[in-house]
Structures are given as structure tokens and as C-alpha cells.
Amino acid sequence: MMDAEKAQAYWKENIRTILALLVVWFVVSLGAGVLFINQLNAIEISGVKLGFWFAQQGSIYAFVILIFVYVFKMKKIDEKYGVSE
């Protein structure tokens, strides 16, 4: 069992990790899919505009990568605070 101070530090680090990943998620989904689409469409890969690719496929890949990053980071945080399974 964790004491209150350690539990608060654990929760604070957990929230910081979640917020950082949410910022990346927001930038990828809104930025690449909507805000920067004209700049990204100037780049073509195999005849497909990069802005279209990000809106259709790239953001999905980014989201899946974020899930794995979250799992990895939380595993390290759990081990740091002694709550790993």
C-alpha cells in the first residue's frame, strides 16, 4: 500500500503522461488532418497527397503508436512507485 504523498506523486505523473499524449493526439488529429492539410498536400508520396494520407491513414497509425507509448510509460511509472503487477 502506498502512503498519501507517494500516491499523489504517482497520480501527478500519470496525469502528466496522459496530458502529454493528449496533446500529441490533438496535434496529429486536428493539425495534420485539418489545419496543415494544404501544406501537407504539397508533398506527394506514390501519387497520394500527404494531407489526405494523414487524414485517412496516418492519424490511425499515430493513435495506435500512442497506445503503445502509454503502456510503456505506465509500466515504467508503475515500477517506479512499486505498484506493478
pLDDT of res. 85:
76
Whether 5 is in a domain gets the answer: no
Residue 57 has pLDDT above 80, yes or no: yes
Residue 84 has pLDDT above 70, yes or no: yes
**Sorting pLDDT into bands at 50, 70 and 90, what band is 65?**
very high
Whether 7 is in a domain gets the answer: no
In 1-80 the beta strands, taken as DSSP E runs, fall at 44-45, 48-49
Query: Could you give the CA distance from residue 6 to residue 21 in angstroms, rounded to a whole number?
Result: 23
Q: What is the pTM of this model?
A: 0.78
**Sorting pLDDT into bands at 50, 70 and 90, what band is 71?**
very high
Whether 84 is in a domain gets the answer: no
Whether 69 is in a domain gets the answer: yes
Answer left, alpha or beta for residue 4, where phi above 0 means left and psi between -120 and 50 means alpha. Answer: alpha
Determine contact, residues 74/17, Cβ cutoff 8 Å.
yes
**Sorting pLDDT into bands at 50, 70 and 90, what band is 54?**
confident
Whether 62 is in a domain gets the answer: yes
